[in-house]
Structures are given as structure tokens and as C-alpha cells.
Amino acid sequence: MLDHFHWLLRLDQGDLGSLLQQVKSRSAKAINHHLRRNGKVWQSGYHDHALRRDETVLDVARYIVANPLRAGLIDRLGDYPLWDAVWL
């Protein structure tokens, strides 16, 4: 899980590609600044997934929040700082 992240979002305007380009650019600059280095942080491209008819926002949000637990990064959901995200 340390090599990717999951986001649940709704776009009211703009497009996903532009948004992710901005997020990757700004976060890469911040990460490189913090680590006092230069270089590539993110791979090019991304994988998106639109909700299907049989999926609910709540189900997908729960999957995302439980990811750190499944990956062994936390011992319980309450240890994850975003466990009570607005989608839940």
C-alpha cells in the first residue's frame, strides 16, 4: 500500500486527469522539498474506477478506509486518521 493511494471524490467541474496532474505535481514538490532531494516521485498515469450500479459510495469508502488495516499498517480502524471521513 505504500506505493499507491486511493481517493474517493466527486468532480463537479474540470477533469480527473488535470486534477491528478496538479496533485502529483504539488505533492512531488513538497515531498522532494521535505526529503531535500530532486527526482520523480510518481509514476506517470493513473487508474480510475467509476462506481458501478451495484456499488455504493459507502461500500467503496469502507473498502478504502480498511486498506491500511488489510496492509498491516495499522492494528485497528480507529488508528487510521481518516477512519471517520465524510463519506462514512
pTM over 0.75: no
Domain that holds residue 87: 49-88
pLDDT surpassing 60 at residue 9: yes
Residue 32 sits in the same domain as residue 54: no
pLDDT in tens, 20-73: 999 999 999 999 999 999 999 999 989 999 888 888 988 998 888 888 899 898
Residue 55 sits in the same domain as residue 65: yes
CA distance 60 to 34: 32
Instruction: Please report whether residue 16 resides in a domain.
Output: yes
pLDDT surpassing 60 at residue 1: no
